[in-house]
Amino acid sequence: MKVQEKLKLLKEFIKICSKNKMKYFASGGSLLEAARYKGFIPWNDDMALGLPRKHFEKFINEIDFEKYNKNYILESSEMNLGIFQYKLKSAILILGKSYDVCLNLFLLDRMSELVIDGESGFKVPLYNLEVAVDRSRSIIENRELANELGSVAFQRVQSIFEIKEKVSELENIFMSLGEDDNVNI
């Protein structure tokens, strides 16, 4: 049943994007589903899609969803800043988490606004790093919570702070370069 609901929701999203000439991309687990399984996997009830900034902003600020389908809504997730969910109005929410089929919409920024994650080697948006640093500070300061997470998670949180420090160093270096230095980033 979930697979049919996911397909219906995805078709609705694609219809909106097509009519409004907006680009979108599968990401995360949805990209894995498409590449590895050639479709949806039944145990995953959400989909991750990314939109370039101008299309993301158009989708969240300008689209009249009532015009397309009155059964769907767009909500920002209080638990994850910068993530919007497109889902059925009837979706069940418990502690800010949706327990129904939904699309998690992520902002995809220009490459120059990405940084290399030290652990994974992937390019990640800088704003996600800033949010992660802010959220992680409480974990570092609360040893009891850190113990509950385990050593691997705690090390990951510490690596976020190390990445932040490296980004600050790089920003200072680039800011010190003159405009005439013709530096390609």
Query: What is the residue extent of each domain of the chain?
Result: 2-108, 111-181
Per-residue pLDDT at 26: 85
Mean pLDDT to the nearest integer, 16-43? 83
Flag the least confident range among 24-33, 44-53, 83-92. 83-92
Report yes or no: 50 and 107 within 8 Å, Cβ to Cβ: yes
Nearest alpha carbon to residue 66 among 89, 84, 83: 89
Can you give the pLDDT at residue 139? 52
pLDDT band, residue 77 (cuts 50/70/90): low
Flag whether pLDDT at 154 surpasses 90.
no
Cα dist. 108→28, 72, 105, 122 in Å? 13, 23, 10, 14
Residue 33 has φ and ψ, to the nearest 5°, of -60, -45
Tell me if the pTM is above 0.85.
no
- Confidence at residue 50, expressed as pLDDT on a 0 to 100 scale: 86
Handedness of CA 74, 77, 82, 86 (dihedral sign): negative
The three state secondary structure string of 36-49 is HHCCCCCCCCEEEE
pLDDT at res. 103: 81
Q: Which pLDDT belongs to residue 152? A: 59
pLDDT grade for 180, boundaries at 50, 70 and 90 = very low
| Percent of residues, the chain, with pLDDT higher than 70 | 47
Could you give the count of Cα atoms lying within 13 Å of 55 in the half-sphere of its Cβ? 22
pLDDT tens for 130-148 read 555 555 555 556 666 556 5
170 pLDDT tier (thresholds 50, 70, 90): low
Q: Kindly tell me the burial class for residue 80, based on how many C-beta atoms sit within 10 Å of its own C-beta (0-12, 13-18, 19 or more).
A: middle
What are residue 52's phi and psi, to 5 degrees?
-60, 155
